[in-house]
A and B are shown apart, each in its own frame.
Chain A
């Protein structure tokens, strides 16, 4: 069981370039999430997918798009990268747990630098 995997681990982009961050989970979870983590800002939700075929905006969706490719995979795309998108990106997945609580399982993160 690999859990949640993310590729790439590190990436450097120039302003205006595009890229897609990949995420996959092997826990058969229905829900998947993308967060960004910046110093002193905690974890901020970018987009999430409650179930296969649905996606919704989180707290900071501007500049990003997502695709829920199938139940396992959820990708995050930066169409035109900006220095403000320099961050560590985490993918997570979850399913309904005990008494309705949703424990989220996180991947190892992608460290993105936009110059």
Chain B
């Protein structure tokens, strides 16, 4: 049973546009929600993360929006650039103690020039 569902599977956005990737989770015990970015031939790297006590977190052009009641969170990339073309993974885990990350299946983003 997939605990973190990610959509869309792939996304094409024009340069300067807004890219939006959505994730939904089932386990209400999750309380840490990171997004990872992966370029071709490289390992994933942490991009931005949010805790459920805030509804939004912004770092530069990247924003996470979080809706606890709907058990959904999303990544918005403003002013998308060709250099943002990558695969993006959402994930969830339980902070404190020890917990592994549960990843979504990934979204391949292509930003056209």
* A50 B43 Cβ-Cβ under 8 A: no
Asked if B100 contacts A33 (CB within 8 A), the reply is yes
Among A41, A103, A108, residue most surrounded by chain B Cβ atoms (within 10 Å): A103
Q: Which of B42, B89, B95, B104 contacts A101 (CB 8 A)?
A: B95
Contact B96 A108 (CB under 8 A): no
Q: Tally the A-B contacts, defined by beta carbons under 8 Å.
A: 61
Assess whether A42 is interfacial by the CB under 8 Å rule.
Answer: yes
What are the interface flags for B87-98 relative to A under an 8 Å C-beta threshold, 1 for contact and 0 otherwise?
001000101111
Given the complex, which residues of A lie within 8 Å of B100, measured CB to CB? 33, 45, 48, 58
Contact of A42 among B97, B98, B106 (CB under 8 A): B106
Instruction: Determine the chain A residues whose CB is within 8 A of the CB of B6 once the complex forms.
Output: 42
Minimum C-beta distance from B51 to chain A (A): 7
Question: Which of A90, A99, A106, A107 is B51 in contact with, Cβ under 8 Å?
Answer: A99
Main secondary structure of the interface of A (DSSP, over half): strand
B104: chain A residues at CB < 8 Å are: 42
Cβ contacts A to B, 26 pairs, < 8 Å: A40-B105, A41-B105, A42-B6, A42-B105, A42-B106, A43-B44, A43-B106, A50-B98, A90-B43, A100-B96, A101-B49, A101-B51, A101-B93, A102-B32, A102-B98, A102-B99, A103-B46, A103-B49, A104-B101, A105-B46, A106-B44, A106-B45, A108-B41, A108-B42, A108-B43, A109-B43
Given A42-B104, A58-B100, A101-B34; 20 other pairs, CB 8 A cutoff: A31-B98, A33-B100, A42-B6, A42-B103, A42-B106, A43-B44, A43-B89, A44-B103, A90-B43, A99-B95, A101-B32, A102-B32, A102-B93, A102-B98, A103-B49, A105-B46, A106-B44, A108-B42, A109-B41, A109-B42
